[in-house]
A and B are shown apart, each in its own frame.
Chain A
Amino acid sequence: MGKKLKSKMFFWLFLAPALLSFIIVVVIPFFMGIYYSLTDWTAIAGIKPNWVGINNYKNMFKDIAFQYSFIRTFVFTLLSVMTINFVALMLAFLVTREIKFKNFYRAGFFVPNLIGGLVLGYVWQFIFKSVIPQIGDVLGIDFLSNLLLLADPTLTLFGLIFAFTWQYAGYIMMIYIAALLNVPQELIEASEVDGANFFQKFWNITFPMIAQAFTITSFLTLVNSFKQFDIIIALTNGGPSDIYKEQIVNSTELLAVHIYNVAFKYNNMAEGQARAIIFFLVLSVVSMAQVYYNKKREVEM
């Protein structure tokens, strides 16, 4: 047995446990899911699913609620990717300056990420419902005391983005901190000698140097916004209602929540599964496009 062959064998031997569990818990269920999405599966043991072809997919695209949910998910994802990355980058800049208590701030900004989404949702629900009107009462601002933030579809979406940013920006900040600390100081100093101002330094040196971090953070925020579930359940429970194409729909029922509702509330497992497949495909295409695009801008040292 050649040395190369032996090392190859060990390679696969050590990889096998991870690969096997990945295949068992992810790949096989995924293909089973594709099969189930083409049947009238009910998830009750003992009942054999019947083949219905692409009916579930047809229903899905006809469903106004699905169309609406799809659009809303994109809007939500776009906005929250922007706000989270912007806030995270600002925070990262702040805590990489020479300021007092910077480690305390770092920890503080990170802490919301440790709070579970459900708890966080309920906390913000309380703030939006009870604290803000109360502040309005105290300050005598009628607009605030009558503000039913969770009853207006647009405001609620912003509330959701706000809560999600609050939770997630601290985590993304950590990645930016690592990236910012890796920017070679010589380059910055050299540019200072050349007389570059703050924005020139940022745009021409810091920004390209942390492009790698951008790839990661955009990917993480994109995927996590797209899959957002727990904060929505706790904060808005899918509501408030909105009108789309003369139908009444749930304004914050984003795709993950929508799929859950179709599968479990309406007890329509197969149709939920079909929507989950589409969800997966869309998410794959969007995130691969994003990674491909961001990769091109990275500079190698």
Chain B
Amino acid sequence: MKKIVSIVMVLVMIFALAGCSSAPAPADKSADTKTEDKVAPKEESVVIYQNKVEIGEQLSAFAAKYEAQTGVKVTVKTSGGDTPYAENLKAEFQSDRQPDIFVIEGKGGYNTWKSKLTPFSGDKWMDLTDLAFKADGKTYGFPVAVEAWGMAYNADLLAKAGIDPSTLTSQDAYKAAFKKLDGMKKELGIKSVVAMAAGPDMRWVTGLHNFNGYLSAGLPYGDTSVLDKMLKGQPDMERLKEYADWVELLFKYSDKAVLLTGNYDAQVGQFATGKAVFVHQGNWIDPWLMSNGVKFPMGFAPHASVYGEHNAIFIGAPSYYVINNESKNIQAAKDFLNYMATSEEGANYMVKEAKMVPAFKNITLKPDAPLSADVMKWLAKDNGAYTWLQNDMPDGFGMGTIAPIYEAFAKGDITKQEFIDQLADKIRALK
């Protein structure tokens, strides 16, 4: 009897200890949504449900101004940060508080919400941007803001070395420049040429951002041919080979410690302290640089991910406002978005208040952060952008499946040829 009791006790203990960690519980849907207004939408009023906590207040202030001018009430509801927006949005739709405008994040969001969306047509803002979200030939998403990445450079150090950043448009140009900079390490006071990270904490840099070069560099904006082939399990071997040269070049001229075990602070810090000339990051490092008092002039040069000339950086809109097709106020919602994109107040809100890089060509206000200001320059150029396709890859493919291959290559565990073969294998496994 005692034996049975003790076995039961052991079982109970295992249940209690293992049960809680082994079964992934579905996320709690009791939304801790910050509902600011529970009044049902009246006629000519717009409810916008958005996910950027950082801009919630600014957007509300802008909406209040809009109401003062037009008499149309715009209610801003915000969830995000620690609360899962996607889950809360589902709850919102199951209740009778459906928003008129909500946010999707690229293809994945589109596939989930397809049945609820209404396309834009004939709206003024559509002519002012190349970054709208399009699917099946229709425009569904209004780009909230722009983010971009390239090879961010320290202009002072390049000038000292006598290198003009505008010449960095091909792998050969980079090769020559890296070699020259590497030879001048002492004079420039740098530790390595590139601040690059491929370690376990930084898999988004390699598996998503760097790999995006394979998917879209050198192609016209919106060209998804390489991605489409990849999703069918077909690697483009020639392109992979060219791409591997680029990865090899970046790894060769970066600091081993930062490359293999560095985190975000180590990587960006190396650039910010002038210990590296280039950093493989995007304009989202602006707040980090500004709060650390980094003053030197900087800008973006293109990624020469494949052979040929490159005159564009990766520019994309990570999230989009979309319109609920069951909304009673579709026109009012569209008017509000048009106003945001075309009016002076809208420009002021996006650039000065919310500190975003707007996706619209008509806006001339400049962000006060250095890299974001440079993104505006690239955005204004003709064909200055390559597409963001890394978010259209299958879940976990970039950071989970292929990023460890980069790390193994960086450590020297595999050769360049093996790197290419491994990537090709993983792509073939996608079909």
Contacts and interface: CB of A to CB of B under 8 A. Distances in A.
Interface of A: 22, 26-27, 29-30, 33, 43-45, 129, 133, 148, 150-151, 219, 223-224, 227, 229, 236-243, 248-250, 256, 259-261, 263-269, 272-273, 276-277, 279-280, 283-284, 287-288, 291, 295
Contact of B395 (A45, A238, A267, A279): A267
Q: Which 9 A-B pairs have the closest CB atoms?
A: A239-B200, A266-B396, A267-B395, A276-B22, A151-B260, A241-B404, A237-B200, A241-B407, A265-B396
A269 B26 CA distance: 10
A233 B13 CA distance: 25
Contact of B399 (A236, A241, A265, A287): A265
- Majority-rule SS of B interface residues: helix
18 contacts: A29-B25, A45-B29, A129-B266, A133-B257, A150-B260, A151-B199, A219-B10, A224-B17, A240-B199, A248-B408, A248-B414, A248-B422, A256-B21, A259-B22, A264-B24, A265-B395, A276-B24, A280-B19
Contacts of A238: 200
B24 A229 contact: no
Contacts of A288: 7, 10-11, 14
A33 B21 CA distance: 12
B413 interface: yes
B140 to A, nearest CB: 20
Contacts of A277: 22
B260 A240 contact: yes
A148 B260 contact: yes
B39 interface: no
B15 A239 contact: no
Contacts of B407: 239-241, 248
B200 A240 contact: yes
Interface in B245-270: 256-257, 260-261, 266
Interface in B387-411: 395-396, 399-400, 404-405, 407-408, 411
A33 B199 contact: no
A295 B35 CA distance: 57
B23 interface: yes
Contacts of B24: 259-260, 263-264, 269, 272-273, 276
A261 B400 contact: yes
Given A133-B257, A148-B257, A288-B7, A266 B395 contact: yes
A22 B13 CA distance: 11
Contacts of B17: 223-224, 227
A248 B405 contact: yes
Nearest to B262: A129
Contacts of B25: 29
Nearest to B11: A284
B23 A29 contact: yes
A267 to B, nearest CB: 4
A30 B21 CA distance: 11
Given A241-B404, A249-B404, A279 B422 contact: no
Contacts of A224: 17
Contacts of B19: 26, 29-30, 280
A45 B89 CA distance: 12
B405 to A, nearest CB: 5
Given A29-B23, A237-B201, A267-B395, A243 B261 contact: no
B404 A26 contact: no
Nearest to A259: B22
Interface string B292-316: 0000000000000000000000000
A150 B261 contact: yes
Nearest to B199: A239
A239 B413 CA distance: 14
- Majority-rule SS of A interface residues: helix
B5 to A, nearest CB: 12
A287 B6 CA distance: 13
B106 to A, nearest CB: 15
B28 to A, nearest CB: 12
A279 B404 CA distance: 24
A44 B411 CA distance: 39
B40 interface: no
Contact of B22 (A148, A264, A279): A279
B404 A248 contact: yes
Contacts of B413: 241-243, 248
A223 B422 CA distance: 36
Given A30-B23, A33-B23, A248-B422, A151 B411 contact: yes
A215 to B, nearest CB: 10
Contacts of B408: 241, 243, 248
Contacts of A22: 12, 15
A280 B7 CA distance: 16
A248 B13 CA distance: 36
B180 interface: no
Given A248-B422, A266-B395, 18 more contacts: A22-B12, A22-B15, A26-B19, A26-B20, A151-B260, A219-B10, A219-B13, A227-B17, A229-B21, A240-B200, A240-B261, A248-B413, A256-B21, A263-B24, A268-B395, A269-B24, A283-B14, A288-B11
B16 interface: yes
Contact of A227 (B18, B90, B201, B266): B18
Contacts of B6: 291, 295
Nearest to B112: A44
A117 B365 CA distance: 46
B399 A280 contact: no
A240 to B, nearest CB: 6
Contacts of A287: 10, 14
Interface string B28-55: 0100000000000000000000000000
A157 B7 CA distance: 33
Given A43-B26, A227-B17, A261 B261 contact: no
B86 to A, nearest CB: 9
A30 B411 contact: no
Nearest to B266: A129
Contacts of B15: 22, 26-27, 30
Contacts of B22: 33, 256, 259, 276-277, 279-280
Central interface residue in B27, B405, B413, by most chain A CB within 10 Å = B413
